[in-house]
Structure 1
Amino acid sequence: MHVDPERPVVRVSQGAQDVDDRGDPVSPDGTDHRLALTFDAFDARHHTLWLRYAHTQVGSRAAAETVVDATCARLLEHWPHVLTQESVARYAWALLKEEVAWWLDDHDRESALVDTAAFHAAVRKLLNHEQRDQFDLLQREIGLYRAIARLPERQYDVVVLRHVLQVPDEEVAEYMGIEVATVRSHVRHARRRLAKDLDVRETEAEE
């Protein structure tokens, strides 16, 4: 999906009142007030997941908040246009990914997925299950996430949303603007690719 690459003037929603960057109310007829309410509702539904995804990519809560705030500013600045899109969730997802890419480029970094999701998943397993070789488990977990990072973009998004962030298939489909069956197809193809990349039997890549 193509979105406007230019970052707009920041506008924020303070409660239900939309204001410009000078703090002056806009549109006294109430149009912007109503638009702000619809944006607030949309943001409330998706904000937490945006933060969780951004965190897997940029590596810290503070940086994730910066990325998501910039995404929200762009959405709110062009909210009437955004509402005309076939899928608002998909459009917002594309903007979020642009902001992540810009942040990583600005800070000369690669995605932090390996350093965040891999570590926490491995630690959870180490704490919850007895393992003969804990070091081997950690190495395999990190290898898996590095392999995920090499997946094609659509497969990568599906795997991160579905398996790293534990988002249901229906919500993954909504974010990506695809059918649930396509989500599951991406998962199957990703599993085959990961099994080949990691040189393991495909059954070991199952949920």
Structure 2
Amino acid sequence: MDAQGQEKFREFVANRSPALLRTAILLSGGDEHAAEDLLQNALIKVASRWNRVEEPEAYARQVLYRQQISRWRLRWRKRELTVADLPESAARERPDNDADLRLTVRRALSRLTPRQRTVLVLRYFEDLPETEVARLLGCSVGTVRSTTHRSLARLRSLAPELSALGLSDVPGPSGAVTPAEVGP
């Protein structure tokens, strides 16, 4: 990469890393360290193809998704579910502010399977159509639909306090949760 390309890449990283990191955090279930690793690996791949990539952010997001898919496909070795809080302390009456809402959504997303979490992040936080999600995940549109349906049902059961707020379609483009609100 020439000097001009390096400068443009540095600008890209400075400008787009926060948004890409938020997506990586959602994809990794709230594990910020895993998200940072995911983003760093994606940026390495973007840098190696910088001169050939027309849409660097789209390419970076695709690398993030595919790396996360590879991680959860290989996760068969590790069956343990790790959570930050014990289940007893995770139950709340009602989140009083946006920070509590973000934490509640993040906690609930982290308890979904990696596949469920990935489908919800792609569909609702990245606002991709079902056909694009199916293409990225290498499955059929019907699989995306059924996984989305089951994932939302599980998310609602994991975080019933969200429906008490009137956010019955959480997460979703019409709901009160956006990628910026769920981010770090």
TM-score, normalization: structure 2? 0.49
Structure with more relative contact order (C-alpha pairs < 8 Å, separation 6 or more): 2
Larger of the two Rg values belongs to structure: 1
TM-score, normalization: structure 1? 0.44
